[in-house]
Amino acid sequence: MIEIELALSFVLSFLLVIYGTPIIRKVAYRYNLLDVPDNRLKKQKEPVPYMGGVIVYFAVIAPVSLFPVFQFNQELLGILFASSILLIVGLFDDFKAITPGIKFLFQVVATYILIKSGIRINLAFLPPWLNVLLTFLWILSIINAFNIIDILDGFSSSIGAFSCLTLFVISLYNEKTLISILSLSLAAALLGFMKFNWEPAKIYLGDAGSMVLGIIIGSLTILGDYSVYNDLGFISGIMILSIPIFDMLYVIVLRLLKKKSPFFGSPDHFALRLKKKYGLSTARTVSIILVMQLILCGLVILNFYTDKTVTIVSTAAIALFFVVFGAILARVKME
């Protein structure tokens, strides 16, 4: 029975985005909620509407709300409540109605709600207070990491889709129904959204969408169980999101080396450097990064079924790759 419900959830979320996105685009144009080119970071030819995150959000919560097999528990309510807060705050931010400080404050509030609902890192070798602190750092980091990588058409949505599909595969083995329904619904919504978000994008996720994406995926990685065969399996949660985490840290480091604030937009993202170095189109750049994401997802599943040695070797290889990759791209001169 659960297989039928999951299949229907995928179809429902996908179709809601396919048929709902054109409506959301009209709303964005009507209220002038547009991303206007500035010839600095925003180099699209014409204004592009935000609000893609709104339809993605509703496509995710629809299956959970409609199908009786999926029961509302404390963790699910926490995720829905926290993501609803960030959706509203993100819309205000897209309207330029709040400051970055206010936005961060609500990110902290949303993270606190998740922890209060029972979603927290639970590493047995760490004291409870440190697990709570790590949860705060993890959720806030992933929220902002997805916000940061939303710089190229299809980038954030495609990384989110493949991450969710990986979480779904692992959740099936662990029989984690909550993770299965949310990850599959979000993956379906993002795959549908890519039809409109791929180069040339007809609509963007906006801050509302990227923050909702970050808080849901960040929560699901915490809820996942990766240590059935491998005590170091928890590293898989980090590995799934290596690309957004790397880009966030990469931008921060490069900005600090230039003695500039990392909290303001800059072209220091590795994707923009990769695109410029090899003269790639946006679509080809994102496609290359997606190949990297597929390799990472494959390693996550491999780590799930193997032992500590494989995890240690694969983690070291990934870390070495990102260090070398980042060093090479750091030589590219950006505006």
Asked whether the predicted pLDDT for residue 129 surpasses 80, the reply is: yes
Query: Which residue range(s) make up the domain with 316?
Result: 2-329
Amino acid at 38: D
**H or E stretch covering 34:** strand 34-35
- Better pLDDT: 327 or 99: 327
**In the chain, % of residues over pLDDT 70:** 95
Residue 289: per-residue pLDDT:
96
Tell me the C-alpha distance between 127 and 35, whole Å. 45
Please give the DSSP secondary-structure letter assigned to residue 140. Answer: H
Asked whether the predicted pLDDT for residue 1 surpasses 80, the reply is: no
Tokens of 294: 């597929």
Residue 320 lies in a domain: yes
Residue 95: per-residue pLDDT:
79
Residue 91 lies in a domain: yes
Residue 231: per-residue pLDDT:
73
**In the chain, % of residues over pLDDT 90:** 51
Tokens of 185: 């619904």
Mean pLDDT in residue range 181-189: 94
Asked whether the predicted pLDDT for residue 89 surpasses 90, the reply is: yes
Mean pLDDT in residue range 64-89: 87
Residue 187 lies in a domain: yes
**Residue 51's closest CA among 32, 28, 72, 35?**
28
**H or E stretch covering 124:** none
Residue 171 lies in a domain: yes
Residue 179: per-residue pLDDT:
87
**pLDDT confidence of 37, banded at 50, 70, 90?**
low
Amino acid at 195: K
Residue 335 lies in a domain: no
Q: How many domains does the chain have?
A: 1
Residue 21 lies in a domain: yes
**pLDDT confidence of 158, banded at 50, 70, 90?**
very high
Tokens of 323: 């260090």
**pLDDT confidence of 228, banded at 50, 70, 90?**
low
Tell me the C-alpha distance between 131 and 177, whole Å. 24
Tell me the C-alpha distance between 200 and 55, whole Å. 19
Residue 85: per-residue pLDDT:
95
Residue 11: per-residue pLDDT:
93
- Better pLDDT: 109 or 31: 109
The answer for residues whose C-beta is within 8 angstroms of residue 278's C-beta and 6 or more apart is none
The answer for residues whose C-beta is within 8 angstroms of residue 236's C-beta and 6 or more apart is 170, 224, 226, 300, 303, 304, 311
Tell me the C-alpha distance between 114 and 82, whole Å. 7
Residue 322: per-residue pLDDT:
94
Residue 185: per-residue pLDDT:
94
Query: Cα 236 to the chain's mean position, in Å?
Result: 15
Looking at mean pLDDT, say which of 66-70, 128-132, 183-187 comes out highest: 183-187
Tokens of 160: 């989110």
Average pLDDT over the chain, rounded to an integer? 88
Residue 40: per-residue pLDDT:
62
Report phi then psi at 288, rounded to 5. Answer: -65, -45
Residue 318: per-residue pLDDT:
93
pLDDT in tens, 251-283: 998 888 887 776 666 778 899 999 998 999 999
What are 49's strand-pairing partners? 34
Residue 334 lies in a domain: no
CA distances from 291 to 232, 310, 321 (A): 25, 21, 14
